[in-house]
Amino acid sequence: MTFSHPSFGALDPDRIIIFDTTLRDGEQSPGFSMNLTEKLRMAEALAELGVDVLEAGFPIASPGDFESVESIARTIKGPVICGLARTGGRDDIARAGEAIRPAERRRIHNFISTSPLHMKYKLRMEPETVLQAVIDGNTLARDYTDDVEWSAEDGSRTDPDFLCRCVEAAIKAGATTINIPDTVGYALPEDIARIFTMLRERVPGAEKVIFSAHNHNDLGLAVANTIAAIRAGVRQVECTINGIGERAGNAALEEIVMAIRTRHDALAWHSGIETPKILRTSKLLSTITGFDVQPNKAIVGRNAFAHESGIHQDGVLKNAATYEIMTPESVGWTKSSLVMGKHSGRAAFRDKLRALGYGEIGDNQLNDAFRRFKDLADRKKVVYDDDLVALVDDEVMRGHDRIRFLSLDVHTGSKAKPRAELELEIDGAAQSAVATGDGPVDATFNAIRDLFAHDAVLRLYSVGAVTEGTDAQARVTVRLEENGKMVDGQGADTDTIVASARAYVHALNKLLVKRARTEPKALSA
C-alpha cells in the first residue's frame, strides 16, 4: 500500500486496522443499550485496549446518541472517533460531522444499501438514484473530514457490476475506506474472498483506499469470513467485543485478533491490540450490559482455558502447550488473586485498582468504592480481583444516577410475610419506605415502586455468582420494559436481595435516561 491515509499516514502493509463497533452495531441490538456514563467507560476501555477506530454511535438517531458520540469525541484520546450516517441523508451527515468535530482524528462512516432486494423493498430507489446518492453523500462527508468511510449495505448480495460502479463512485467522491458488509450473515468465506479480490482488481482507484470487512454471524461464519477478507487484501476489520451486535452478532474482536496472533505462521499480519487487556474489556462489557458470554465462548468464556478431563489436565501440567494454543495470560486471564484485607488503606486500594486496569477514578467514586470494599471485606472471607472489579464497575457506572441505593433491611422466613425496609437517595434527597411482598425480592421491588412510582414491567430477573463459594457475591440482572423500551440493570453484593435492589435501581436509572431521549427516527443499519 503506497498512499498516505488521512488518519494513519503511511500505513504498514501488514497492519490490520481494528475498527470497533461495540458502541454502535453492538449497542443497537436489543437489551444492549448503554447510557452516557457506560458508553464513556466502555470507550475508555476500548481506547486502552488499542482499537484503531472507535465507532461511537449514530448521531442522527436521537439527541442521546448525538450527545454520546460528541462526549466520546471530546474526551477519548487515541483512536479515530467515527460517527455513522445514512448516505442519502444530508442531515445525517451534518449531524455526524458536528458530533465528531471535537475529536483529534475523526471519521464519518456513511452507508446505503446496494443489493437489488434492499434497493427495491427497503429504499424504494432505482439503482441510478442510489449511485447518485453515493456521489453526493461522500462529497458532502468530505466537507467535514478527510477520513470518510463508505459502506455498501447488504454488499455481499449486491450485483458485482453495480458494486464495482458504486465503489468507484465513492472513491472518486472522496471515500478513503470502502467497507463491504455481509449485513445478513449470508456469505461463505469464498464469497467474501471473491468480492474483495474482484473489487481490488476491477475498480479504478482501488489501490488508493483501504478495504474493510464487516461480517455478521447469522451462520456462525463472521470470524471465518473476516479472516478470508484479510487474505483477500482487506486491511480494516469491523468487529465488536464479545461479538455482540444485530441478531446473531458481529465478528468478535477478540477472536479475530487472537487468530492472527496465534496463527501468525499462516496469517502474517498484526494488530495494535494489547491482548492482555482483552478479558478485562470483555468483562466490563458484560457488567455494563448484564449479558455474560457463554462458558465455552472462545478466548473470554469461563471454560476457554479450563481443562476438566484427567488426560488433558495431566498433559497441561507436563507442558501447557499440549492443550493450550495460546497462554491464558496473553488474553488477560490470571490466577484469581487475593486482594488486601479489611485493614488495607485507601492508597493500597487505589494502587490495586490501577493494577486492575482502572485509570484515574474520581475522589467521590473512590471513597464510595472504598467504603463498599471495607464492608465487603468484613462480610467475605476472601476478596478476589473479580469481586473488586464487580464492586468498582458497579460504583463507577452509577456516578450520574438520579436514584441511588442507600440501605436495605429485609425480614423474611417461612412464617412471616417478607418485609423490606428500603432507603434510596432520589435527586439528592434520602427517602425510605417499608413494603411487604410474596418473597423478599418482591417486597424489595415493591418498596422501590413505593418510593419511585413507575409503570415499567419486570421482564427478567436472573442471579449469577461473581466468584465461587457460598460467600460469593451475587450478580443480579433485572430487565424492565416501559412502552416497548427495554433496559437491563445489574447489581452485585454478597446479599442476593441487596444485589437485586441495586440491579432494579440501576435499570430504573437507565429507563430515566431513555425517557429523556426523544423517540429515535425510523432507522435502518
For ligand KIV, the binding residues (CB under 6 A) are 25, 111, 151, 153, 179, 181, 183, 214, 216, 525
Residue number, 19 or 504, with CB nearest to Zn ion: 19
154 binds Zn ion (CB under 5 A): no
Residue number, 28 or 282, with CB nearest to Zn ion: 28
Taking each helix axis from N to C terminus, what angle separates 278-289 and 36-49, rounded to the nearest 10 degrees? 170
C-alpha distance from residue 318 to each of 312, 323, 327, 329, 390 (Å) = 10, 10, 15, 18, 34
111 contact, one of Zn ion, ligand KIV, none, CB 5-8 Å limit per kind: ligand KIV
Residue number, 25 or 401, with CB nearest to Zn ion: 25
- Residue 35 grid cell: 447510557
H or E segment at 236? strand 236-239
Q: Out of 23, 24, 25, 203, which residue is the one contacting Zn ion (CB under 5 A)? A: 25
Residue number, 152 or 230, with CB nearest to ligand KIV: 152
Cβ distance 456 to 430 under 8 Å?
Answer: no
153 contact, one of Zn ion, ligand KIV, none, CB 5-8 Å limit per kind: ligand KIV
Shortest distance (Å) from residue 238 CB to ligand KIV? 7
44 binds Zn ion (CB under 5 A): no
Residue 66 CB neighbours (<10 A): 20
27 binds Zn ion (CB under 5 A): no
CA dihedral (181, 183, 186, 189) in degrees, to 10, reads 20
Shortest distance (Å) from residue 185 CB to ligand KIV? 9
Q: From start to end of 70-113, where are the E strands?
A: 80-86, 106-113
Cβ distance 206 to 172 under 8 Å?
Answer: no
Site for Zn ion in 390-429 (CB under 5 A): none
CA nearest to 37, candidates 410, 522, 512: 512
Shortest distance (Å) from residue 392 CB to ligand KIV? 32
Residue number, 114 or 444, with CB nearest to ligand KIV: 114
153 binds Zn ion (CB under 5 A): no
Length of the chain: 525
Considering only 20-28, 81-89, 91-99, 401-409, which stretch makes contact with Zn ion by CB under 5 A?
20-28
Residue number, 25 or 147, with CB nearest to Zn ion: 25
Residue number, 240 or 509, with CB nearest to ligand KIV: 240
- Residue 246 grid cell: 444485530
149 binds Zn ion (CB under 5 A): no
Return the DSSP state at 411: E
Considering only 23-31, 106-114, 158-166, 420-428, which stretch makes contact with Zn ion by CB under 5 A?
23-31
Site for Zn ion in 264-283 (CB under 5 A): none
Residue number, 196 or 370, with CB nearest to ligand KIV: 196
1 contact, one of Zn ion, ligand KIV, none, CB 5-8 Å limit per kind: none
Shortest distance (Å) from residue 399 CB to ligand KIV? 30
Nearest residue to the partner Zn ion, using Cβ: 25
Q: What is the CA radius of gyration of the chain?
A: 24
280 contact, one of ligand KIV, Zn ion, none, CB 5-8 Å limit per kind: none
∠ CA 211-215-220, rounded to 5°: 150
Count of residues of this chain found to bind Zn ion when the rule CB under 5 A is applied: 1
Backbone angles phi, psi at 365, to 5 degrees: -65, -40
Considering only 19-27, 120-128, 309-317, 367-375, which stretch makes contact with Zn ion by CB under 5 A?
19-27
Q: From start to end of 11-131, where are the E strands?
A: 17-20, 53-57, 80-86, 106-113
Residue number, 226 or 275, with CB nearest to Zn ion: 226
Site for Zn ion in 290-349 (CB under 5 A): none
Side-chain-side CA neighbours of 338 within 13 Å: the count stands at 8
Shortest distance (Å) from residue 179 CB to ligand KIV? 6
Shortest distance (Å) from residue 17 CB to ligand KIV? 15
Amino acid at 45: A
C-alpha distance from residue 165 to each of 149, 232, 271, 390 (Å) = 16, 20, 31, 51
Considering only 17-25, 93-101, 114-122, 282-290, which stretch makes contact with Zn ion by CB under 5 A?
17-25
Shortest distance (Å) from residue 217 CB to ligand KIV? 11
Give CA 430 to chain center in angstroms.
Answer: 34
Residue 173 CB neighbours (<10 A): 18
CA dihedral (392, 398, 403, 405) in degrees, to 10, reads 0
Any residues with CB less than 8 A from the CB of 190 and at least 6 apart, and which?
228
Any residues with CB less than 8 A from the CB of 4 and at least 6 apart, and which?
10, 11
151 contact, one of Zn ion, ligand KIV, none, CB 5-8 Å limit per kind: ligand KIV
Shortest distance (Å) from residue 16 CB to ligand KIV? 18
Residue number, 248 or 382, with CB nearest to ligand KIV: 248
First to last CA, the chain: 30
Point out which residues bind Zn ion (CB under 5 A). Answer: 25
